[in-house]
């Protein structure tokens, strides 16, 4: 079994992480005091961390999303957004992540007068500062941004245009998130059309709390390049008693086309998408060689890190260092960064990093 130290030292890539789901508890308390947000359930940082974790683990995506009222509530000022983004970059880098795409919904952060562009500017400035701090600490990281539109609102085209407008300043793609039930992906075809016509990148939350129709629509009607979560793809996979496996048409398409699955194991347990880590379909999907990636989703709400997710998968399925590297390369191949940048990180950071860890393990065994 891999040690947590080895997992942290391994270079990792992250494609599905929500900015408003990854604040430090102490930062939530600080920002609430600084900007006059009165509704926190407690100002004790330890108790607040427990509150978020307990509130999120209610086996319902809709209930899970309720906890975001407080993180979004303290992220309504430019300085607050910049601080959260900078700390996000630092925290991810400290966890051994060398490339990350962090997503957020600008439309949720305009309650105190910021424009959508003001929000993006503040977050991008924060990420740049966080990258500088991480590099100075000897933990370089590349942060890119996904701009998200919320399903329950009616601003998807406007948000898609915003994402494209910032494509040359660190924004690499567009996403749609929020409650799946009652908000099918086909409601947002105009936004998706705009993204495709602008030769931009698209990922869609699909197949988390809703089933195969959500995945089918996201792919065939909306043109998604990646699937956020996508756990319900297993509804189209039959595992027989003799161990043989039959893939249905959607599952076959996803595997044959190498559609990346942005899987978030602990979050999927908390939202009720799966019963436990041990029962998570990520093990079956990785063995079938789907383009699986491992992600955090919401580090504060689920009390996770990417290293912790890999540790849980290693304990449940014995993935080892080789599978960790494969999963990391999957993520880098699936990233929305330009091809040359992806290739550089794979060849100059990821592969040498894992080679060094394997050599270290060999020396320990030999010694």
**DSSP letter at 245?**
E
Q: Which residues pair with 102 in a beta bridge?
A: 17, 145
Q: Which residues pair with 149 in a beta bridge?
A: 176
216 vs 292: CA distance, rounded Å: 18
- Active-site position among 208, 217, 262, 325: 208
Q: For residue 261, give the H/E element and its range.
A: strand 261-263
Q: For residue 19, give the H/E element and its range.
A: none
Residues 6+ apart with CB under 8 A from 141: 89, 92, 93, 97, 98, 99, 100, 130, 131, 134, 135
| Collapsed DSSP state (helix, strand, coil) of residue 58 | coil
- In the β-sheet with 292-294, what is the strand arrangement from edge to edge? 12-18, 97-104, 142-150, 171-177, 202-206, 226-229, 261-263, 292-294
Residue 208 designated active-site:
yes
342 vs 348: CA distance, rounded Å: 10
- Catalytically active residues are 208
């Amino acid at each position: 079994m891999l040690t947590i130290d080895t997992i942290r030292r391994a270079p990792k890539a992250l494609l599905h992480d929500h900015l408003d789901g990854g604040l430090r508890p102490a930062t939530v308390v600080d920002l609430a005091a600084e900007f006059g947000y009165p509704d926190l359930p407690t100002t004790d940082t330890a108790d607040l961390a427990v509150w978020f974790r307990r509130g999120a683990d209610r086996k319902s995506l809709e209930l899970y999303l309720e906890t975001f009222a407080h993180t979004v509530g303290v992220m309504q000022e430019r300085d607050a957004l910049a601080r959260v983004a900078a700390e996000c970059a630092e925290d991810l880098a400290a966890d051994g992540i060398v490339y990350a795409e962090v997503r957020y919904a600008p439309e949720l952060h305009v309650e105190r007068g910021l424009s959508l562009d003001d929000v993006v500017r503040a977050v991008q400035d924060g990420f740049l500062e966080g990258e500088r701090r991480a590099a100075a600490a000897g933990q370089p990281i590349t942060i890119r941004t996904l701009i998200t539109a919320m399903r329950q609102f009616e601003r998807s085209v406007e948000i898609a245009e915003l994402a494209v407008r910032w494509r040359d300043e660190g924004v690499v793609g567009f996403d749609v998130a929020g409650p799946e039930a009652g908000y099918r992906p086909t409601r947002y075809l105009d936004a998706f059309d705009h993204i495709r016509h602008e030769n931009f990148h698209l990922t869609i939350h699909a197949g988390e709390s809703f089933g195969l129709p959500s995945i089918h629509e996201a792919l065939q009607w909306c043109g998604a390049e990646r699937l956020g979560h996508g756990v319900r793809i297993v509804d189209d996979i039959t595992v027989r008693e003799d161990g043989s496996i039959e893939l249905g048409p959607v599952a076959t398409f996803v595997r044959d086309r190498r559609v990346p699955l942005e899987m978030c194991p602990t979050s999927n347990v908390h939202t009720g998408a799966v019963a436990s880590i041990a029962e998570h379909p990520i093990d079956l999907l990785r063995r079938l060689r789907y383009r699986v990636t491992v992600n955090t989703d919401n580090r504060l709400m689920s009390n996770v890190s990417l290293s912790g997710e890999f540790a849980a998968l290693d304990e449940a399925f014995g993935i080892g260092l080789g599978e960790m590297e494969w999963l990391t390369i999957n993520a880098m191949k699936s990233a929305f960064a330009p091809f040359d940048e992806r290739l550089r990180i794979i060849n100059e950071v990821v592969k040498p990093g894992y080679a060094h860890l394997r050599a270290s393990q060999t020396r320990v065994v030999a010694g």
